[in-house]
Amino acid sequence: MYQPHMYHDTLYGTIDMVSHDNRPKTFLGRLSQASRAVRTCFDAELKDLDLTLARGRLMLHLIRAEHTVTQSELSEVLEVEHPTVVRLLDGLEQSGHVERQPLPGDRRAKAVVLTDEGRAVGQRVLRMTDTMSDILLEGVDPADLAVTERVLQTLSDNLSRFAAARADQTPTS
């Protein structure tokens, strides 16, 4: 049976904390386990293409993009710092998957463009992602999936508000 621990925080009031023993039985625990399992599976599949998870996510964004993609956009989409994107692109450029080109009208920005080889690999990553999605969602009722997507969106929205409230409460020096 679920036995929450009460935790009091001046900013957020009283919060039910799940004991360590009950954590895997909770929704967030299962969500975390599922997320790790998907990442692990995706990472294993990407190894066959000589890609890391981070490089695979970058290639996926590039192959799906319908516009010119900049390094700054990749940093934002991948939720990593700019130097991390630079290192990822360095590796993909050395392997012949991408090229960085000057962006007309902005001397500081660089457009990231897939090479022919990069497009072929990107298409394989896209097909692999579609196949994994089909396998993952096999037997899931579309109505259940719609509810799950709404719940996940609500969780994301709640976390964004939580982070914003926390940021507002953080003392500045």
Residue type, 102: P
pLDDT tens-digit readout, 126-159: 999 999 999 999 999 999 999 999 999 999 999 9
Mean pLDDT of 77-85: 94
Distance CA 33, CA 27 (A): 10
pLDDT of residue 148: 93
| Higher per-residue pLDDT: 14 or 33 | 33
For residue 173, the model assigns a pLDDT of 58
Instruction: Please state the rounded mean pLDDT for residues 78-92.
Output: 95
Non-local (6+) Cβ contacts of 51 within 8 A are: 59, 121, 125
**Where does residue 150 fall: left (phi above 0), alpha (psi -120 to 50 degrees), or beta otherwise?**
alpha
Counting Cβ atoms within 10 Å, is residue 163 exposed (0-12), middle (13-18) or buried (19+)? Answer: exposed
pTM over 0.85: no
Under CATH, to which class is 50-131 assigned? mainly alpha
Task: Single out the residue of 33, 5, 7 nearest to residue 20, CA to CA.
Answer: 5
* Chain mean pLDDT for the chain: 86
- Asked if 71 and 109 count as a contact pair (C-beta separation under 8 A), the reply is yes
Q: Residue 101 contacts by C-beta under 8 Å, 6 or more apart in sequence?
A: 110, 111, 113
Output the pLDDT for position 5: 43
Triad 146, 36, 89: Cα angle to 5°: 100
How many other β-carbons are positioned within 10 Å of the β-carbon of residue 119?
16
pLDDT of residue 169: 86
Domain ranges of the chain: 1-47, 50-131
